[in-house]
Amino acid sequence: MPDMGKLNIRIIWDGNVVRDVEVKSNRPQAYRMLKGRMPDNAVQMVPLLYSVCGKAQLAACITAISAAQGNPLPQDSNFERGVACEAMQEHLWRLLLDWPELLRLPRQQQQFVRWHGALKEIANGQGNAKSLLADLHQELLGLTPAEWQQIDSYAKLSDWQKAGKGLLAPVFAALDFKESQLDFVGEVTPCALQPNWSAADVWKTYASYLDHGFTAVPQYEGKPLETGALAHNQYAPLLQDILCKRPARLQARLIARLVDLLDSAEALAHENNTGRIQGISALSATGLSVARTARGMLLHYVRIEAGRIAEYLTVAPTEWNFHPQGSLVSGLIGLKESDEERLMGTVKSYVLSLDPCVEYEIEISHA
């Protein structure tokens, strides 16, 4: 397996308040491996270079190269269905395994394995997506799809949490309580949420900025953005209300994952998964693609000269969310906490809510 690099997160803490947060990444860049290669060779290599979200990485690669070569962009429904199922598997992993473990609740291993297998079958054109949709609502929420649609405010969500219906109610209730206990010096100034950009929007915005510096530290108008399920669903009434009541965004990010999971299940049931992958060729022999993954927007850019790759750039959601001044940093600076163990638990919650696609290390440094 290739070295995917690591995030090093250093929390500067004076014993009472988080004074600063340093985030350093040594993730390798694709251009070092792909430059000079034939396009077909790149298509073979990308899934090996990026094992996490491998289907989305491959889809983004094929779409960008097809655009650069002037070929028709992939229209195969299996293509987007596979990316959707992969994202749903990632959501279930966090909702059923990682968050319960972090919150000291039982992991739902058996359900995860069952649904992960069902999504694998659906991705391969088999299985029953409508049955999966009904099953997710019943087991995760203890609600019908119509009842779930009625939960459009923090108050209604709280009522559902208190009723204890479904597998996720205890998880959301525990995280809600944890977030309610957080206290900060001054007001939290969160990182802006990324718009729902199309491939054309990205090209229009970044055509003159696509270089190695941008891929390592992406930003918009000089500032970082947060990508992910919360950004994609930021205008949903439920999430708007949660952001008002819980501005630290822990609960909002987790609920957004659930919203994205159920919306994706609905799309699978109705065989409507278009839009997750988009591509554009605005200049000769160049192609750009965006793919919507569980973690946020994935970008691939390629330029071909004399039949070989002259430049290949990628920007994964981790580059946005773990920007040196990004959401993790803005979310933690000013946090009041006098207990180092509790501080470490809170930092882990923030990191998990932003979900890096690589390993990470957290160090608490005493100021």
pLDDT class of 31 with cuts at 50, 70, 90:
low
Please name every residue paired with 301 in a beta bridge, in sequence order, or none if there are none. 288, 313
> How many Å separate Cα 312 from the centre of its chain?
22
CB 51 within 8 A of CB 2: yes
Mean pLDDT, to the nearest integer, of 88-112? Answer: 97
* Region at 218 (left for phi over 0; alpha for psi -120 to 50; beta for the rest): beta
Backbone angles phi, psi at 356, to 5 degrees: -65, 150
Q: Would you call 192 helix, strand, or coil by DSSP?
A: strand
Gap between the Cα atoms of 160 and 289, Å rounded: 39
- Give the predicted TM-score (pTM) of the model: 0.93
* Range with the poorest average pLDDT among 25-34, 80-89, 297-306, 324-333: 25-34
Gap between the Cα atoms of 142 and 165, Å rounded: 5
Gap between the Cα atoms of 226 and 324, Å rounded: 12
Nearest residue to 64 via CA among 32, 30, 98, 95: 30
pLDDT class of 26 with cuts at 50, 70, 90:
confident
User: At 111, which CATH number?
Assistant: 1.10.645.10
Q: Is residue 282 part of a domain?
A: yes
Q: Is residue 163 part of a domain?
A: yes
Tokens read off for 169? 């109610």
Mean pLDDT, to the nearest integer, of 294-308? Answer: 94
Q: Is residue 314 part of a domain?
A: yes
Q: Is residue 199 part of a domain?
A: yes
pLDDT over 70 at 186, yes or no: yes
pLDDT in tens, 233-259: 999 999 999 999 999 999 999 999 999
pLDDT over 60 at 2, yes or no: no
CB 178 within 8 A of CB 185: no
CB 227 within 8 A of CB 296: yes
Residue that is written with structure tokens 């459009």 in the block:
152
pLDDT over 80 at 18, yes or no: yes
Question: Of all helices (H) and strands (E), which one includes residue 367?
Answer: none
Q: Is residue 1 part of a domain?
A: no
Residue 94 belongs to domain spanning: 6-366
Q: Is residue 166 part of a domain?
A: yes
Q: At what angle do helices 340-354 and 169-180 cross, to 10 degrees?
A: 120
Residue type, 276: R
The total number of structural domains in the chain stands at 1
CB 60 within 8 A of CB 298: yes
Q: Would you call 184 helix, strand, or coil by DSSP?
A: strand
* Mean pLDDT rounded to a whole number for the chain: 92
pLDDT over 60 at 1, yes or no: no
pLDDT over 90 at 209, yes or no: no
